[in-house]
Amino acid sequence: MSEQTPAAVFLKDYKVPDFLIDKTELTFDLDETQTVVTSRLHIRRNPESDAATAPLILDGGEDVKLIGVAIDKYELPKEEYNVSNDKLVITATPDAFILTCETLIEPQNNTRLEGLYRSSSMFCTQCEAEGFRHITYYLDRPDVMSVFTTTIIADESRYPVMLSNGNEIERGKTEDGKTFVTWHDPFKKPAYLFALVAGDLEVLNDTFTTMSGRDVALKIFTEKHNIDKVDFAMDSLKRSMKWDEEVYGREYDLDIFMIVAVDDFNMGAMENKGLNIFNSSCLLASPETTTDDAYLRVEAVVAHEYFHNWSGNRVTCRDWFQLSLKEGFTVFRDQSFSADTHSDVVKRVEDVSFLKTAQFAEDAGPMAHPIRPASFIEISNFYTLTIYEKGAEVVRMIHTLLGADGFRKGSDLYFERHDGQAVTCDDFVSAMEDANGVDLTQFKRWYSQAGTPILNVTDSYNETTQTYTLNVSQMTPPTPNQPTKLALHIPVRAGLIGPDNQPLSFTVDGKEQTEVVLHVNQAEQTFIFENVASRPVPSLLRGFSAPVKLDYGYTTDQLLQLMSGDVDGFNRWSASQQLAVNELLNCVQQYQAGKDLTEESSLVSGFESLLADSTLDSAMVALILSLPSQAYLSELSGVIDPHAIKAARKHLRLLIASSLEKEFKKIYEANTVTDAYQASAGQIAKRSLKNAALSYWVASGNDEAKSAVVRQYRNADNMTDQFSALSIIVNNQLAEADDLMSAFFEQWKHESLVVNKWLMLSASREQENGLVQIKELMEHPYFDIKNPNKLRAVIGGLGQNVETFHNLDGSGYAFLADQIILMNKRNPQIASRLCTPLTRWKRMESRLSEKMKSQLERIASQDLSKDVYEVVSKSLA
């Protein structure tokens, strides 16, 4: 451990800033190794602060060198300021003044990818959450909002494009022949929304006319060789702008909106005011290089960042504990946009499946936190699935409780009341309450309580009185620092299914209906349904109306009935998942007991009728066909046995494949897309069903299937079909696997994002000496440890490689720990994310658990960044 233990900050300690910065004027004299930043900050004491003589304390970083500082025209001598622990402290200041500050930074050596850094040939920035302090000394907190004017000076021949937030207001030459460009952003913003880009970039131009008739210039910038891959992003942007006007009444505010793609980026993308910066993996798309999944991701991320212009920028967060205020809300908004654009059921299944796999695991681990955390050591560690995905679920529950119109009234009031402010989650809920005249006091516990609630449901039916009774109890397990929990307000959308697969009507609250939202808000509760004609099968938690674990003892027959007969598409999927989970967990137990795995599966007959029904949505059928993932089954296991889970999945897959060989062949052949590639719901559905069927068909061992998959690989005119075929060939270890992997690399080695796919598949490939292969990949000339996408591809592939990663000798874990230690200082954010698999150590079967723990201890013995320290120390606690 480092000498000093990094300290936590607490929400309860929040205080308004002692100073405000009305205007921020920045000048960047850009240089790869020595960039000089001059800031002129118009500072005054905050009238709301109670500390009338507080010193001025500005945030900085160990990588920022202070050259000089002046108050108004007075250059401060060394005795009048103090720089230590990354803070610049000035004890005596006037009540209002201009602080001029000159700093030196080294973009070329910035490996953390926070602040100003280089990515291939360009300069770019990432300032959320606390990156701006790596550029210059500042009040780097979101409740300090300022009007920014930014001048960029650079050599125009190498950096013809120079961008910052807002509008370009001036351009000219400096005395030494360089070019300067000045940008002005009229909207007050916190420093985390600042952005700067400079490079030799190509641009795609377009325009959008807003609802009030203003023309907005839209510009997407990339390096020259990628400009042919941004049409889809541009189209997604225009559709997002229109959707936000129609669904939320939100209009864009500047005359220009820009997006830039960069290759080296820690996260997905960033909503800087008027100048979004994207990881190129979330922006570039072309049929030949991009899979359907990646297309949908581009669309969702473009929408997400655009939507932040209101939910995040115009109304921002008071402090970082409120992060879910903007992220949960904005994820809910982008999910709704995608659902409206494609199929809402398919989108919901994908989102819920992800939540139940990854967020539930986080909620059950040592890093569990409420969507509004009470404390943190390093805020970068809290850009989590809980803040984002569970945060979106909480907003969705408010939507369910208030209805679409009530929710819109609430969001209108929220934007109107708080435009230009930095606010809290409580402010958001208050706007929802005030606009609808409701009391959400109990509901607000979702913001402060961590952990996934478990709903236990039993029922009874009285034939004579025709009443059906549901007994519901709720329990949220303890999480770190929260041993006991209060009852939550949980909306449970429910209906009843009759014996003939018809929805049964019932009377609740004196009203005859076929669907109801039950308000579960006590530890134990009873709900009575009257006038129920026969004993029903309950369809509970429709559309996944709350982020909880539902425990009702469905029989196999009931699940089969829901799977084919529920009017709620989401619950049809949910029933099929439950059925598959039951069978898989049964196989896991048999495997662990050393028994033969069962040759009986009701999924076979379930899938058989599914495949025979041509009225169903192909995308839904494909989702139902894909068995619960290794990760999801791990999350469900009390004690995780990766090898047993893997064996169970493989067994059931083969059983289904061999039983339904002919059916899969038929589906495969019936779902060929002949039209030119489009990322449309219809085509995506067909391809996903076709490739799901192909995967089973090949697994059956059929020779015709093997030729078909190789043929598909060779003839494919789009990456979805090509890469699906390649993955099937590799995962089924067909004879062609080695040759086609090499051919794929040769064909695509000039396309960095495709190389990442190749890296991931190579790393996940089951082979004799898996770890040797992975080490070779990291030595490969096309691997680059400075590029987070490449590192994530290899380490992500390793994570899927059960044999190699969970090798009983612990070598997989040791290798991962080596990478964490290597990245710890170079790029703490990435290093900290790599720790995630190890944080599950307490739940692993004993032999693996010990090995994981000892690697965590080895990491803990290093001099750690705050990021890694927090995750590792909490995991070992």
How far apart are the C-alpha atoms of 564 and 643, rounded to whole Å?
32
DSSP bridge partners of 232: none
CB of 205 to ligand ARG, least distance (A): 24
**Which window, 268-276, 354-362, 484-492, 523-531, contacts ligand ARG (CB under 6 A)?**
268-276
Does 604 engage in binding with ligand ARG (CB under 6 A)? no
Tokens of 563: 């799977």
Does 195 engage in binding with ligand ARG (CB under 6 A)? no
Q: Assess contact for 270 and 195: CB atoms under 8 A.
A: yes
Among ligand ARG, Zn ion, none, partner that 267 touches (CB below 5 to 8 angstroms by kind)? ligand ARG
How far apart are the C-alpha atoms of 507 and 381, rounded to whole Å?
48
Q: Which is nearer to ligand ARG, 270 or 371 (CB)?
A: 270
Q: Assess contact for 240 and 337: CB atoms under 8 A.
A: yes
- For residue 457, give the H/E element and its range: strand 454-462
Site for Zn ion in 321-380 (CB under 5 A): 327, 330
Q: Can you list the alpha helix ranges (DSSP code H) found in 101-223?
A: none
Q: Assess contact for 149 and 24: CB atoms under 8 A.
A: yes
Assign 3-state DSSP to the chain and report helix, strand, coil percentages, each to 5: 45, 20, 30
**Which window, 98-106, 215-223, 255-263, 266-274, contacts ligand ARG (CB under 6 A)?**
266-274
CB of 331 to ligand ARG, least distance (A): 8
Q: Which is nearer to ligand ARG, 241 or 729 (CB)?
A: 241
How far apart are the C-alpha atoms of 518 and 193, rounded to whole Å?
41
CB of 85 to ligand ARG, least distance (A): 22
CB of 140 to ligand ARG, least distance (A): 13
Across 837-874, b (16+ Cβ under 10 Å) vs e yields bbbbbebbbeebbebbbebbebbeebebbbbbbbbbbb
Among Zn ion, ligand ARG, none, partner that 661 touches (CB below 5 to 8 angstroms by kind)? none
Binds ligand ARG by CB under 6 A, chosen from 156, 263, 292, 305: 305
3-state secondary structure of 171: strand
Q: Assess contact for 573 and 623: CB atoms under 8 A.
A: yes
CB of 323 to ligand ARG, least distance (A): 9
CB of 829 to ligand ARG, least distance (A): 6
Beta strands in 794-850 (DSSP E): none
Chain center to CA of 53: 43
How far apart are the C-alpha atoms of 778 and 782, rounded to whole Å?
9
Show Cβ contacts of residue 13 under 8 Å, excluding neighbours closer than 6 positions. none
Q: Which is nearer to Zn ion, 328 or 451 (CB)?
A: 328
- String marking each residue 828-847 x if it binds ligand ARG according to CB under 6 A: -x------------------
How far apart are the C-alpha atoms of 98 and 140, rounded to whole Å?
17
How far apart are the C-alpha atoms of 99 and 43, rounded to whole Å?
7
CB of 128 to ligand ARG, least distance (A): 4
Does 657 engage in binding with ligand ARG (CB under 6 A)? no
Other Cβ atoms less than 10 A from the Cβ of 273: the count is 26
Q: Which is nearer to ligand ARG, 700 or 829 (CB)?
A: 829
CB of 269 to ligand ARG, least distance (A): 5
Among ligand ARG, Zn ion, none, partner that 380 touches (CB below 5 to 8 angstroms by kind)? ligand ARG
CB of 428 to Zn ion, least distance (A): 15
DSSP 451: S
DSSP per-residue string spanning 747-771: HHTT-HHHHHHHHHHHHH---TTHH
Q: Which is nearer to ligand ARG, 328 or 453 (CB)?
A: 328
* Closest-CA residue to 807 (of 839, 777, 772): 772
Q: Which is nearer to ligand ARG, 128 or 751 (CB)?
A: 128
Binds ligand ARG by CB under 6 A, chosen from 143, 223, 271, 870: 271
Q: Which is nearer to Zn ion, 369 or 757 (CB)?
A: 369
Q: Which is nearer to ligand ARG, 18 or 59 (CB)?
A: 59
Q: Which is nearer to Zn ion, 396 or 706 (CB)?
A: 396
Site for ligand ARG in 115-144 (CB under 6 A): 126, 128-129
Does 307 engage in binding with ligand ARG (CB under 6 A)? no
How far apart are the C-alpha atoms of 487 and 105, rounded to whole Å?
51
CB of 273 to Zn ion, least distance (A): 14
114 noted as active-site residue: no
* Closest-CA residue to 282 (of 201, 296, 528, 663): 296
Give one word for 213, left, alpha or beta, with left for phi > 0 and alpha for psi -120 to 50.
Answer: left
CB of 133 to ligand ARG, least distance (A): 13
Does 380 engage in binding with ligand ARG (CB under 6 A)? yes
Catalytic residue among 305, 378, 751, 870: 305
DSSP bridge partners of 38: 27, 102
Closest residue (Cβ) to ligand ARG?
383
How far apart are the C-alpha atoms of 376 and 480, rounded to whole Å?
13
Q: Which is nearer to ligand ARG, 264 or 305 (CB)?
A: 305
Does 269 engage in binding with ligand ARG (CB under 6 A)? yes
DSSP per-residue string spanning 573-591: HHHHHHHHHHHHHHHHHHH
Does 720 engage in binding with ligand ARG (CB under 6 A)? no
Q: Which is nearer to ligand ARG, 270 or 740 (CB)?
A: 270
**Which window, 267-275, 370-378, 426-434, 460-468, contacts ligand ARG (CB under 6 A)?**
267-275
Look at the chain and count its residues: 877
Among ligand ARG, Zn ion, none, partner that 136 touches (CB below 5 to 8 angstroms by kind)? none
How far apart are the C-alpha atoms of 600 and 589, rounded to whole Å?
15
Instruction: Give how many residues touch ligand ARG by CB under 6 A.
Output: 14
**Which window, 67-75, 269-277, 448-456, 731-739, contacts ligand ARG (CB under 6 A)?**
269-277
DSSP per-residue string spanning 499-519: TTSPEEPEEETTEEES-EEEE
Q: Assess contact for 323 and 311: CB atoms under 8 A.
A: no
- String marking each residue 312-331 x if it binds ligand ARG according to CB under 6 A: ---------------x----
CB of 380 to ligand ARG, least distance (A): 5
**Is the preceding peptide bond at 129 cis, omega within 30 degrees of 0?**
yes
Q: Which is nearer to ligand ARG, 266 or 353 (CB)?
A: 266
Binds ligand ARG by CB under 6 A, chosen from 270, 364, 560, 587: 270
Q: Assess contact for 438 and 206: CB atoms under 8 A.
A: no
Show Cβ contacts of residue 875 under 8 Å, excluding neighbours closer than 6 positions. 365, 366, 367, 835, 838, 839, 841, 856
Catalytic residues: 305
Residues that bind Zn ion (CB under 5 A): 327, 330
Residues that bind ligand ARG (CB under 6 A): 126, 128-129, 266-267, 269-271, 304-305, 327, 380, 383, 829
